[in-house]
Amino acid sequence: SQQGEEDPQALSIQEGENATMNCSYKTSINNLQWYRQNSGRGLVHLILIRSNEREKHSGRLRVTLDTSKKSSSLLITASRAADTASYFCATDDGGFKTIFGAGTRLFVKA
């Protein structure tokens, strides 16, 4: 079962532009997380937002959560070539499982 689904599937932007990725999920959650994966590597945790939070910042990352719409967005500001990676949202199933979406592939052109 796939709880989160990201949109778009792929995104190509110029260095310095902002990148926005969206995630929708199906059931109630305790929190939502965003991860990054460089090609051929493991995932790295970026940020966690709890179900009672609406917005969270970490450096150039801004995450929003709308539980009424069951959706979240990840904004990367002033993107760099090094931000090129796949980005995944992940939610819990109300229990101990963490379920990932299919991811958004971001390509930042120098």
Partner 1 sequence: DGGITQSPKYLFRKEGQNVTLSCEQNLNHDAMYWYRQDPGQGLRLIYYSQIVNDFQKGDIAEGYSVSREKKESFPLTVTSAQKNPTAFYLCASSRQGKGSPLHFGNGTRLTVT
Write out the DSSP string of 82-106: GG-EEEEEEEE-SSS-EEE---EEE
Closest to 95 in 3D by CA, of 1, 6, 5, 28: 28
Given the rule CB under 8 A, which of 16-24, 56-64, 75-83, 89-97 is the region that contacts partner 1? 89-97
- Strand-pair partners of 107: 12
| For partner 1, the closer CB: 34 or 76 | 34
Kindly tell me which residue out of 31, 64, 67, 73 binds partner 1, with binding defined by CB under 8 A. Answer: 31
Distance between CA 110 and CA 29 in Å, rounded? 37
Kindly tell me which residue out of 18, 28, 98, 109 binds partner 1, with binding defined by CB under 8 A. Answer: 98
Smallest separation, CB 16 to partner 1 (Å): 27
Smallest separation, CB 77 to partner 1 (Å): 22
Residue 59 binds to partner 1 (criterion: CB under 8 A): no
| For partner 1, the closer CB: 96 or 110 | 96
Residue 41 binds to partner 1 (criterion: CB under 8 A): yes
Residue type, 102: A
> What's the helix, strand, coil split of the chain in %, to 5?
5, 60, 40
